Amino acid sequence: MKRIIYTIMAAAMLAGTSSCVGSLDQYPHTSTTSNDVYTSVEGYQMTLGGIYAAMIQRISSVSTEARSQNYIRTLMMFQDCSTDACDAIWLAGESLTDVNGLSWNAGDPWCSAMYYHIYNIVAMSNEFIRNASDETRLSRFNEEQRAQIGKYRNEARFLRAYAYTQALDFYNKMPFVTEADGVGTYIPRTYDRTQMFGFVTGELEEIAPLLDKTNYGHANRGAAYALLARLYLNGETWTGTEYYDECISACKKVMEDGYSLEQDYAKLFNGDNHLRSNEIIFALACDGTNTTTWDATTFITCGEVLANFEDYEDVWGTEGSSAWNNLRARPELVDIFDAGDSRAMFIDYDRTAAGTGESGETLYNKTPRSKDITAHDDASTGYRIYKWTNLNDAGEPASFCGEGGGANTDFPVFRLADVYLMFAEAVVRGGSGATRSEALGYINDIRERAFGAADTGTISDAELDEDFICDERLREMYMECIRRTDLIRFGKYTSTYNWQWKGNVEEGTDVDAKYRFLPIPEAEYSVNPEMQTINNEIGF
């Protein structure tokens, strides 16, 4: 059993509704109210757990899609499957054609799902922060208990900041509500990116020193500084102002806490990856027995399994689950790796049983697969990916992935290699407070791990430029829900760089610049007419 198991409280989980007015400020529609929940430290703890759980479990009231995909699953569709990283095969069945090909509109169910998942986290966090700041409620607790509730409040502020960072990333303008706005039906304020950037960075700068240094599966100090680094690295894209000095400073704060690279890259994404807290700064904990879900990392690991591969459980550890036939590598991802790079976790063949050998071993036929995705709804082409698995360190399934089960693999939100890459990029872009020699050293630490030996795969100072870092981020971070953000920052998302099936064209094509954003769902128009104006401003 994992050390972290999220308990889902009904009072927290039912905070989402079909409009942003309701989901941002509503009092939970359940017989269990704040008057019942916030009467003990344990009540606060369990309700906070519900906010974390909302990122890995399905919430039927949030998504307009019948399957109600969860937060991580929806995020991966936009961050990885709309890019050169991977390709989603379930197009018609899950209305993914528009996401996969960058052609969505304000009525797209996946656009709605992303919006409501973000604002569900905001709503739940606001409700928690409000009740963890209420002096009338807190007066019943002693000093030690109040201090503990204060720690929980800071975690909730981090989770709200994380959700608002996603809103800042996806939208040009967006609704903004805090715990101070109280409960009731009203039209929320609208923030532009500069306003939201100021709020989120201010929140994180304030709470980062107050969070615990180590607290696996929960927001900690390193997570706050890593999120700050991400904000500052993208600050120029989001606000027009450079913050590379601040990015470097935030990265240094993370590194001061003593994290180190895990030497076996594959173990960062297996069923025992909760043991990699040396590199994983903040993870969403997934317990295959106690937090069962078809989404989160169950979706990722099982989704990688394509048909016609005998004994696939030996590779992915997805015991009890059939081949989902969903996620495969785009050829651009495969081609970006050099020979010997251990991060290139692809299988370029089908494997079918061919009888038994003289010693009783199973014999297989191997049939090459096309690297090109020649028929988009056909799972028989495109290379398999095995970056994410449900294998434990012993090479056995970490949990049962069939009915009633799920993957035991946690989802790393921030890890040290990402911080190294952000640090190096900020230096290359002109940030002060560090040297190119330091930046190069961190890049080569990542490269040495990837190639398995010192000086193997390392680069020179002359090779360290923006294009190299953009490519290295794909090699290191594919399928970790950040690629879209990276491509936009490097000016390569909608134009100047194409990949197979971009724009729903096999050879790839430029698309309208509006697809740097997601539209606000059409359902919001009747509640807040300004939302339609926001969409019109960016061309939706």
Considering the domain architecture, whether residues 363 and 340 belong to the same structural domain is answered as yes
Average pLDDT over residues 176-187: 84
d(CA 410, CA 279): 13
Average pLDDT over residues 324-353: 96
Residue 16 belongs to some domain of the structure: yes
Highest mean pLDDT among 82-91, 94-103, 492-501 belongs to 492-501
Considering the domain architecture, whether residues 191 and 80 belong to the same structural domain is answered as yes
Q: What is the predicted pLDDT for the residue at 10?
A: 32
d(CA 297, CA 303): 9
Secondary structure letter of residue 395 according to DSSP: S
Considering the domain architecture, whether residues 373 and 436 belong to the same structural domain is answered as no
Residue 1 belongs to some domain of the structure: no
Considering the domain architecture, whether residues 69 and 181 belong to the same structural domain is answered as yes
Tens of pLDDT, residues 258-285: 999 999 999 999 999 999 999 999 999 9
The percentage of residues in the chain with a pLDDT greater than 70, rounded to a whole number, is 90
Q: What is the predicted pLDDT for the residue at 362?
A: 87
Residue 521 near residue 111, CB atoms below 8 Å: yes
Considering the domain architecture, whether residues 380 and 314 belong to the same structural domain is answered as yes
Angle between helices 221-233 and 416-428 (to 10 degrees): 30
- The reported pTM is 0.93
Residue 85: both structure tokens together:
């990283």
- pLDDT of 511 over the 70 cut: yes
Residue 251: both structure tokens together:
């990265």
d(CA 470, CA 313): 33
A 10 A CB-CB count for 430 gives 9
Residue 502 near residue 101, CB atoms below 8 Å: yes
Considering the domain architecture, whether residues 68 and 182 belong to the same structural domain is answered as yes
Residue 340: both structure tokens together:
């010997």
φ, ψ dihedrals at 175, nearest 5° = -65, 150
| Confidence band, pLDDT 50/70/90 cuts, at residue 18 | very low
d(CA 472, CA 444): 11
Q: What is the predicted pLDDT for the residue at 292?
A: 61
**Three-state DSSP class for residue 346:** strand
Considering the domain architecture, whether residues 206 and 70 belong to the same structural domain is answered as yes
d(CA 237, CA 226): 18
- pLDDT of 510 over the 50 cut: yes
Residue 505 belongs to some domain of the structure: no
Tens of pLDDT, residues 482-495: 999 999 999 999 99
Q: What is the predicted pLDDT for the residue at 23?
A: 38
Residue 323: both structure tokens together:
């081949």
**Three-state DSSP class for residue 309:** strand
Q: What is the predicted pLDDT for the residue at 194?
A: 98
Q: What is the predicted pLDDT for the residue at 68?
A: 53
φ, ψ dihedrals at 358, nearest 5° = -65, -30
d(CA 21, CA 529): 12
Tens of pLDDT, residues 376-397: 788 999 999 999 999 999 999 9
Q: What is the predicted pLDDT for the residue at 66?
A: 42
> Residue 301's domain spans which residues?
296-391
> Between residues 66 and 26, which one has the greater pLDDT?
66
Average pLDDT over residues 40-68: 79
Residue 253 belongs to some domain of the structure: yes
Tens of pLDDT, residues 118-177: 999 999 999 999 999 999 999 999 999 999 999 999 999 999 999 999 999 999 999 999
Q: What is the predicted pLDDT for the residue at 455?
A: 76
- pLDDT of 12 over the 70 cut: no
**Total domains in the fold of the chain:** 3
| Residue whose tokens read 């102002």 | 241
